Every structure is written in structure tokens, then in C-alpha cells.
Chain A
């Protein structure tokens, strides 16, 4: 992939240079973003989700990102997750980028139409943001503004196609040419646990066909289902066309395990995990232990390129979970040999 022609004039990069010295290790400059090169190198990648603050203070973003320092390869900035208002994902990503971190900017189709989204993608690329995750987004009714207009002008798949067209064909969706295309590493979400089963791999394939280069999945609390999903993915060789990062997170209590199980559509918590959480004396610790074990088990599954940690309100434990799982140590050792 070519170096982005606008990179040299990228305002984020000037700030970058000072910040880069603080980050733990350089990644070979192959002209692609850090997440992409980590994945390409075959190292097991770790990404984490940052919950954007309800604040206009950049320091709040830096504080939230600081807990991930040195333990992740990229940080997702969610876009109005749960249909609640928070600082925009473009702004959070730009702030992170300016600090030398690697953001994955999420774009949800719920709040903006194709004109706004394409403009944001251009702006994001101009700010040095390389990774964009395309999602449909939650319905407005679950958030704090249920009276808002749900836009959904594009869906996740047409959004992927649109951004790919901007990058590869140097054109907007309308066909109008653009002068400097955005250099983007495109991602999509997938749900290996969704019902009906028929849709699991089928949806993933559509997204890969539409341009997804990496995938971050829904929470995995059932490794058996994931295994059979990945077997199907590998048999269709989709793992060779997109890097698959499996979503995980620590459960806080038995109550939340049961609640997720019955209230969050598309998430499946295995019987075994619910039982373990119920029996545990210190459920929060047990939740983190399960999370560490999940990472280790997931790592062994063929076709998996990494994990994506969504530790809502437990972000401060992410570094510990990653350390205990041993995946980063191993991957670093591997890359050194």
C-alpha cells in the first residue's frame, strides 16, 4: 500500500513525534498503520474499547486511554454507543492519534447520512486516522434520546463499500472524483453467536466482500460456538481475506452474566460461565480470570488474529488481563525470533 500523500502535511503527526518516544515499541514502517502492520506480521493483536467521555475536556480522553498504555495495539473510539451521546468518535480518535496512539474510529450509520459520513471519513484521514470500523449502530430507542430520528441512510455493508470506493476508486458514492483519497484500513463487526445460525458466516462474508479487512466480533462467552464459527470461516478462507479479532470482556457479577444472557440480543453466555460466576466468592475477580482464560483459549483457535477487549467500566483491569493472558509476551518473543 502506498504512503498516504497527505501524511507529511498531517497536523497530527507533528505532535506524534514527541509522543512516539513514549510508546513501547516501534513497528516497522511499511507505510501502513500500526494495527495493520501488527496484524500483517502475524502477531496476536490486542485492541480495546474506550468509552468516550461526556465532557469537552481532552484530558478526560487521555486519562481513559492511559490505562491501555503499552498493552494494546489499537484503541476503539465508539460512536455514540448504546445510542447515548458522548464525545464524537472523530474527535476522540484525533486526540488519541495526536498522542501517538492508534485509534480505530467507529462509524455508526444511525446518526449521519452519506454526505456527513463521507466528509467525516475524509476529515479523519486528514487527521491521520487510518482505521475505521463500520457498524450499523444500535437503535435510538435504547439510548438517552429515544425521540431522535434514526438516520440509517447507509447500512454497515454499504458504508464499507462507500469507504472502499473512496479509497480505491478515488470517488465519492455519487461518482464524483476526489483529489487525494483517504488511506484507510477498513473494519466491520461480526456476530458469531447470532441467531439464526445461517446468518453468522453469511453476514461476515458479505462484509468481507464489501471491503472489510479486519473484523471485531461481538462478546464471546462461549468458546465452543466460536470454534465452530471459525471452522466455517476458515473453510471459506475468509480468515485469509480479513483479520478476525474476537470480542471479549470481563463479567462483573453473576447478576450481570444472567442479565446479559437474557437481555442483550446477540450475546450468548455459556452455562458453564454463568455457573462459575454464581459459585465465585469474588465474582469480579472470577470474571477477570474467565476473561484471561478465554483469551488463552481463543488464541489457540485457527484463524483468529487477535482479541478485542470491551471492558465497560473495568478498563483499569485491561492491562492486568492482557499481562496474565501472556499473549503479548508470547507475541513479542515470536516477533523477535
Chain B
């Protein structure tokens, strides 16, 4: 919903704070997810994610969420699906070139980004979308990836301390 979408950008900082808590909970629940099986969870979780994020951000479920880089403005609402900043046609009043009744998602992103913990994340280049991930849950993917990275780190630490002990 357009009104809610604008609200989300205005409250990007709060939403980021909320999401960081939420994602920690998901990471905490990882053993449970593994027990049930991530693949089995995919459909129900994706459905919940789609409705929550659809409401708040007009999310299109691209499956590779970059909301935390774009100040909570979903770049998939750009009629040109641009994932790396606006086209050259933004109107002087900040509205979209293609849909003059909509604020350019990247103008909104700039507003939202200043509220984020890393305001410069908006400047990094995003790879082209992998359309095969469309419709899949970003929450689950991120949870899984975070846990994998953390496990790697732990292993690294263990190796370190083991080395430390042997020396």
C-alpha cells in the first residue's frame, strides 16, 4: 500500500531496529528450522513474508531483499526494476518518470538510508537479480546464511584457540 510504504521509509530506522531483533530470533530458531527442514518451511514462511512485507513495503518477493541497504524503500517498485540507484528521469519534484503519481523509489531510498545504521550501504553495487529466487523467502535464506557464516567463524575461532593451545 502506497501510504504504508511511505510510512515505512519515514520510519526506516525503527523498522531496521525491529528487524534486527526479529532476525536474531530467527537465527536462534535455526536448530528448530533444521529439524523441520528449511525446504518444508519455505512455502508457509514465504506466504507470511509476502503478506507482511507486501503491506509495509509493497514488496514483490524478489527473494533477494535489499531493503536494509535502500532505506526500507523496495526498489522492485521501480518500473524499470533498477537496483542501483535511479534512472536519469526522476522529476524535479522527486516523482517517478514513468509513474508520475508515485515517488521515485530511489528518492525515497535516499531519505530512508540516512536513518539506517549504515547509511552508505546504498552506495554499494547490487548484482543483477537472480529470477530463479523470485517468490522465495529472504528471511529464511538470510537466517540460513547467517548461521552458516557464524558457524564458519566459530570453526575459525576454534582453530585459532587450538593453535594457541598447541603453541
Known: A194-B90, A195-B90. A152 touches B82 (CB 8 A): yes
Interface residue tally on B, bucketed by range:
20 to 34
Known: A153-B128, A154-B128, A199-B106. A137 touches B86 (CB 8 A): no
Separation of A120 and B107 alpha carbons in the complex (Å):
33
Separation of A266 and B123 alpha carbons in the complex (Å):
21
Give the A-B pair count, Cβ closer than 8 A.
88
Question: Interface-forming stretch among B7-15, B91-99, B149-157?
Answer: B91-99
15 further A-B contacts with Cβ under 8 Å, apart from A152-B81, A206-B125, are A136-B80, A138-B89, A150-B80, A155-B80, A155-B84, A156-B87, A157-B125, A158-B127, A173-B128, A190-B88, A195-B91, A199-B85, A202-B123, A203-B85, A210-B125
Separation of A209 and B84 alpha carbons in the complex (Å):
12
List A158-217 residues whose CB lies under 8 Å from chain B. Answer: 158, 161-162, 173, 189-191, 194-196, 198-199, 202-203, 206, 209-210
Separation of A162 and B83 alpha carbons in the complex (Å):
15
Q: Are B88 and A206 in contact (CB under 8 A)?
A: no
A residues less than 8 Å from B125 (CB atoms): 157-158, 161, 206, 209-210
Q: Are A191 and B97 in contact (CB under 8 A)?
A: no
Q: Kindly identify which residue among B87, B92, B128, B131 contacts A136, using a CB–CB cutoff of 8 Å.
A: B87
Q: Are A206 and B89 in contact (CB under 8 A)?
A: no
Q: Are A265 and B89 in contact (CB under 8 A)?
A: yes
Q: Are A155 and B83 in contact (CB under 8 A)?
A: yes
Q: Does B37 contact A (CB under 8 A)?
A: no
A residues less than 8 Å from B50 (CB atoms): none
Q: How near does chain B come to A242, taking the closest CB pair, in angstroms?
A: 16
Q: Does B31 contact A (CB under 8 A)?
A: no
Q: How near does chain B come to A173, taking the closest CB pair, in angstroms?
A: 7
B residues less than 8 Å from A114 (CB atoms): 128
B residues less than 8 Å from A283 (CB atoms): none
Q: Name the residue on B nearest A162 (C-beta).
A: B128
Separation of A202 and B110 alpha carbons in the complex (Å):
11
Q: Name the residue on B nearest A200 (C-beta).
A: B88
Separation of A139 and B104 alpha carbons in the complex (Å):
14
Q: Are B84 and A206 in contact (CB under 8 A)?
A: yes
Q: Does A228 contact B (CB under 8 A)?
A: no
Separation of A210 and B85 alpha carbons in the complex (Å):
13
Separation of A265 and B128 alpha carbons in the complex (Å):
26
Q: How near does chain B come to A320, taking the closest CB pair, in angstroms?
A: 29
Give a binary string over B108-131; 1 marks a CB under 8 Å from any A CB, 0 the rest.
001000000000000101111101
Q: Are B94 and A195 in contact (CB under 8 A)?
A: yes
Separation of A152 and B110 alpha carbons in the complex (Å):
22
Q: Are B83 and A199 in contact (CB under 8 A)?
A: no
> Which of B79, B81, B123 is most buried by chain A, counting CB atoms within 10 A of its CB?
B81
Q: Are A157 and B85 in contact (CB under 8 A)?
A: yes
Q: How near does chain B come to A134, taking the closest CB pair, in angstroms?
A: 12
Q: Does A93 contact B (CB under 8 A)?
A: no
Q: How near does chain A come to B63, taking the closest CB pair, in angstroms?
A: 15
Give a binary string over A120-152; 1 marks a CB under 8 Å from any B CB, 0 the rest.
000000000000000011110100000000101
Q: Are B86 and A203 in contact (CB under 8 A)?
A: yes
Q: Are B110 and A198 in contact (CB under 8 A)?
A: yes
Q: Are B81 and A158 in contact (CB under 8 A)?
A: no
